[in-house]
Structure 1
């Protein structure tokens, strides 16, 4: 998620991003899975240029749909993942969660945060957002779970995509009207999505 989305998430959790009790008097190991939002392809070489992080922080490329290395099994005091599972089918979610759980050491924790953007406020007062979610459900099913922080910016990507497709079913004029409606609604009324935080301790 973007920086603004992170700040929204942090504010909603009252500046306490980790809800499980972790010791502060000894060294612990934390895995933060899916650090990016998954909407862009981040070249792994970018991580090599980061010099300002302490030696205790490392970055590694890992496909969460593939098996984790043996050295990661039962290793971490906390396995953390945020806003990732919505990108996959439910059967994939179950596999991902099971694999993550096995990375926590005995008595270690797992914390998952996921958005429930289908809980947005609709109806007459929120007609712009209702129409937008109806559009995404038909045009890009995977985008139905887009987060509120980048909801208006997404319009530009949709419009650029549409412009390359002759006789697209949604006109540029309709896009502009929809974008203006949602932008006005977000500016003057706002909207609300729920997100869920689940924690579990390994025995």
Structure 2
């Protein structure tokens, strides 16, 4: 087993960093882009040459390849992707580079006020709470040039107690939320994306905007391709969840492994009936 296939040693990233997980994240990304109506939601001037762009929590860098296609002068751009996890590498253009970076730790000094666009997607949960999320986003803002843009995109899981009459997909989301909470993640932060940016950017950021969207997972998606990607997302979430439970002592598991393993067929039936969805939240602002 290669290093890129081993389970993550950091409990904040409980799944295995393999090709299948990278594929799930790309599928998730396509669903988010569809739900929110694009990748770059802020009014970044993509007609300019020599843009410097950072994508935090980039996984294998696939999103940067999509951003690069939206630039009028892609060959002149500097595109950097960072993640706490290593993924099996893609064949990336020469001006896309990937580096390891923990968002809870200081960023390289050379990147202070360096970027025209700083983007992060689905990373707030690892901060573990509102105050730490605000601190983390404030450090992101320090990386942005005056006049540049920061954009945060995130989702949320269902964090209420399981009810007897919950549908299978709701149970899956709730128990997954309980599991990641046990290792210090807070999956409820996504709904507060705009509030976090406003608090972090007080006196530093102007022109704040926000947007919300919904991804049908399965039937109800805007295309057959996206419908299939919804099934990929659900299968990947379930697989990651099972991996996470297997790594926990039995007395620490919020539910029995066998119960979770048996959820997937019913979850997929509900998805095929158009009953599953995820909500996404975006916020952006311009550095003063």
2:42 alignment counterpart: 20
2:172 touches 2:260 (CA, 8 Å); kept in 1? Answer: no
Query: What is the CA RMSD across the aligned residues, in angstroms?
Result: 3.7
Q: Structure 2 regions of 5+ residues with no counterpart?
A: 1-23, 61-81, 189-214, 218-232
1:202 alignment counterpart: 287
User: Displacement of 1:99 after TM fit?
Assistant: 0.5
For residues 77-156 of structure 1, the aligned pairs below 5 Å read 77-90=116-129, 91-118=131-158, 127-141=167-181, 145=187, 149=233, 150-156=236-242
Structure-2-length-normalised TM-score: 0.56
Find out whether 1:9 has 2:49 as its counterpart.
no
User: Displacement of 1:195 after TM fit?
Assistant: 1.1
1:79 touches 1:100 (CA, 8 Å); kept in 2? Answer: yes
Which structure is larger by alpha-carbon Rg, 1 or 2?
1
Q: Which moved more, 1:102-111 or 1:146-155?
A: 146-155
Q: 1:132 to 1:144 in 2, by over 3 A?
A: farther
1:55 alignment counterpart: 94
Task: Give the secondary-structure state (helix, strand or coil) at the position aligned to 1:26.
Answer: coil
Structure-1-length-normalised TM-score: 0.76
Bigger strand fraction: 2
Q: Structure 1 regions of 5+ residues with no counterpart?
A: none
Q: How many angstroms apart in 1 are the aligned matches of 2:254 and 2:110?
A: 51
Which protein, 1 or 2, shows the higher relative CO under an 8 Å CA cutoff with sep ≥ 6?
A: 1
- Per-residue CA deviations over 1:62-108 (Å, capped at 9, x if unaligned) read 22222112211111111111110112222221111001001110111
Specify which of 25, 29, 42 is matched with residue 86 of structure 2.
Answer: 42
1:83 touches 1:114 (CA, 8 Å); kept in 2? Answer: yes
Find out whether 1:71 has 2:156 as its counterpart.
no
- Per-residue CA deviations over 1:83-139 (Å, capped at 9, x if unaligned) read 10112222221111001001110111000101123399x989852123334433544
Q: 1:187 to 1:13 in 2, by over 3 A?
A: same
Q: How many angstroms apart in 1 are the aligned matches of 2:168 and 2:83?
A: 24
User: Displacement of 1:167 after TM fit?
Assistant: 11
Q: How many angstroms apart in 2 are the aligned matches of 1:188 and 1:39?
A: 36
User: Displacement of 1:159 after TM fit?
Assistant: 6.0
User: Displacement of 1:17 after TM fit?
Assistant: 0.4
Q: How many angstroms apart in 1 are the aligned matches of 2:186 and 2:105?
A: 25
Find out whether 1:192 has 2:231 as its counterpart.
no
